[in-house]
Amino acid sequence: MSKIYKVSQAAELLGVSVSTMQRWDREGRIKAYRNAANRRYYTQEQLNKYLGISEKDRKNIAYARVSSAGQKRDLVDQMDFLIQYCNAKGIIIDEHITDIGSGLNYKRPKWNKLLQEVEDRKVGKIYVTYKDRFVRFGFDWFADFCKRHGAEIIVVNNPKTSPDKELVDDLTSIIHMFSSRLYGLRRYKKQIETDPSLKGGDKND
């Protein structure tokens, strides 16, 4: 079943105003459907057609990630599970991406390249075994980002492919980061207290 969008959602995807969508409907440029309450809505196919995008041109991608090179066995297990899942449903995977890096690292090259392809509307669906394989925090934001560009993240929900040790390591990293910042602030406060020149500036100014 095709996805449907409210007028405001369709307008955001096309980068125009709601009033423009309403005018285009009246002019027949993009004719809106009407629901039982007589409210306008649009389908994914309509928006893709307007944008010149064919669903056949969009890639299905299987994405697997682990935090370190020592977890390559887990990486293989994730990808094997995704391949089995897609094969069972008759889904053809066009690209397999295996990534090594923390889920807290938003500068992962392969991951950023994937997001760029989503933004370029080259991706249809991204298959992951678990939400935190894609990103540790903020998954809903990235899922919405993909949706705005006509893509979808399919989470097959296999928690066995999400190593507990990774969560511990990521939480440890967060604690270490905040501890370092707190230590830095304490040192700065102590420096202010002991250095008269930092207390309200030079009185001779």
- Which residue from 88, 113, 87, 119 is spatially nearest to 99, judged by alpha carbons? 113
Q: Exactly one of 19, 54, 67, 102 is catalytic; which is it?
A: 67
- On the 0-12 / 13-18 / 19+ scale of CB atoms within 10 A, 150 is buried
For residue 32, give the DSSP letter. P
In whole angstroms, what is the distance from residue 122 CA to residue 68 CA?
29
Helix (H) or strand (E) holding 41: strand 40-43
Q: Is the Cα dihedral 156, 164, 67, 100 positive or negative?
A: negative
Q: Is 67 a catalytic site residue?
A: yes
Buried b (16+ CB within 10 A) or exposed e, 37-65: eeebebbbebbbeeeebeeeebbbbbbbb
- Which residue from 172, 157, 156 is spatially nearest to 102, judged by alpha carbons? 172
For residue 31, give the DSSP letter. P
Catalytic machinery residues: 67
